[in-house]
Every structure is written in structure tokens, then in C-alpha cells.
Amino acid sequence: MSVNLLVPVFALVLWSIVMLIWMVALRLPALSNLKISPEQTRGGRGQDLDRMLPREINWPAHNYAHLMEQPTIFYATAIGLALLGQGTTANIALAWAYVGIRIVHSVWQAKVNTIPVRASLFFLSSILLAMLAVNGMLAALRLSA
């Protein structure tokens, strides 16, 4: 198994936890300032806070949600490549580039949040993920032949 390919996986998991802490650190004080009664929040969801809090307070939460979406495909792809023994220099570089761009995307979304830059970062990370997936598919096909 290609253990080196798992390091970027754990790095992105740890980054997701950083974003969780960032989200909580902004939202909890903002919520306490609103003086909302417990009854007003009963049965509510995180998305309901979008209507109550300033948009900048919600941006880290939006990014945290994004980190629970496409990166799950990255995790499956990177772990699959590792199981296939495909921890090549190219795949490790692609995985680290994906993680790096996702971190930049997170910081951009949480602090500035202009759509053209954010979309460009997302598109670039998606291309890298597709390249990893193609490498995994080709390796799996070679092994099954």
C-alpha cells in the first residue's frame, strides 16, 4: 500500500476540523449577541442561521459544508490509489495540489468570498481530482486485465 498518498488525506481531514473550529468561533459569539431564546432555535438547522447572522459570519460555515461534499470523492480516490499501490510521485503531487487548492479555497471563501476566484479555485481542484480518478481507473483496469 502507498502510505505516502494517505498523508494529504489526513491533512485535508485536519483542515476540515480547523474550518469547524473557525465556524464555531465566529457563530457562537454572534448567536449569543442576538439573545435568541432556546424556543426560537428548537428544531432549527445550521442553514437557518443564514437568515439571522451577518453573511461574513456564515462564510466559514458554508465552506465547512463544502468540505463535506467534493472532498469525500477525493478521500475515496486517494485511498483507492493507495490500495492499488499507486503512490507515485505524480499522484502524490496531484493529491497535495488538490489539498493545497482546497485550503486556499477555504480561506478565500471564509475571508473574501468573491465568486469568480472561488469558482476558479473549485474548477482547478476539480481538474486535479479528475486526474487522480483517471489514474486510479487506469491502474485498476491494468490490474484486472
Helices (H), the chain: 6-34, 38-41, 55-67, 71-83, 89-111, 115-144
Q: What is the pLDDT of residue 1?
A: 66
Number of domains in the chain: 1
- Over residues 112-129, the mean pLDDT reads 98
User: Residue 117 pLDDT > 70, yes or no?
Assistant: yes
Domain that holds residue 132: 3-144
What residues contact 65, with CB distance under 8 A and at least 6 apart?
46
Res. 122: pLDDT tops 90 = yes
Q: What percent of the chain has pLDDT over 90?
A: 80
| pLDDT at residue 80 tops 70 | yes
Q: pTM, whole model, 2 decimals?
A: 0.93
Q: What is the DSSP letter of 69?
A: S
Rounded Cα–Cα distance for residues 44 and 48 (Å): 6
* CATH number of the domain to which 40 belongs: 1.20.120.550
